[in-house]
Amino acid sequence: MFDGFEEFDISTTGASVHGCRGGSGPPLLLLHGIPETHLMWHRVAPHLAERYTVVATDLRGYGDSGKPPSTADHEPYSKRAIGSDQIEVMRELGYDQFSLVGHDRGARCSYRLALDHPDAVLQLAVMDVVPVGDAYNRADKDFASSTGNGRSSPRQNRPRNSSSTRHRPIWSTSCSTLGPR
């Protein structure tokens, strides 16, 4: 599936991480979302490998990566712990700095990794995830009412299961609107 890529298993402080690496150029780490594994990148990675050294891993708890026992606070599966695994993998592969792309859960782990290791992450791209800070900062009464999920939502004037109330996005925006309000 990843022609020209080499598979690896690297032991980190918290778990064994499975992945693959291929291509040449600046290093680029790809982190998958839920419920995928590194295999989700199989159509994109070969194209990226024409310009980058692509590293795609299974996050801890997914695919062929280790699945350490959890704890009461779930710390072994925190975004910080998963991000630390990825830093260790990239350093083991010889990359102290790299670009990072995360999808869904991988995006959340990417945020944390970039915050904890700003000198390691040269560029960050996240996909299919709402920026947490923006979501919380904008989650006011109007936002709750517009989603149809607020308890005080003025839905009583609309039919309960009409097409106008079903399939309404909870968050719909473009990057240009994510700036200051």
Query: What are the structural domain ranges in the chain?
Result: 6-129, 134-181
Predicted TM-score (pTM) of this structure: 0.77
> How many Cβ atoms are within 10 Å of 92's Cβ, its own excluded?
13
**CA dist., res. 82 & res. 69, Å (int):** 14
- State which of 7-21, 126-140, 161-175 shows the largest mean pLDDT: 7-21
**CA dist., res. 96 & res. 44, Å (int):** 24
Is 81 in contact with 14 (CB distance < 8 Å)? Answer: yes
Predicted pLDDT at 148: 59
Domain 6-129: CATH superfamily is Alpha/Beta hydrolase fold, catalytic domain (3.40.50.1820)
**CA dist., res. 141 & res. 152, Å (int):** 9
Give the residue-averaged pLDDT of 104-128: 96
Question: Which DSSP string corresponds to 9-72?
Answer: EEE-SS-EEEEEEEESSSEEEEE--SS--GGGGTTTHHHHTTTSEEEEEPPTTSTTS------T
Confidence check: pLDDT of 44 > 70: yes
Confidence check: pLDDT of 166 > 80: no
> For residue 11, what are the β-bridge partners?
16
Predicted pLDDT at 129: 87
Predicted pLDDT at 147: 62
Q: For residue 177, give the H/E element and its range.
A: none
- Among residues 32, 166, 148, the alpha carbon closest in space to that of 100 is found at 32
Q: At what angle do helices 105-116 and 79-92 cross, to 10 degrees?
A: 70
Give the residue-averaged pLDDT of 144-164: 49
Q: Max alpha carbon distance in the chain (Å)?
A: 61
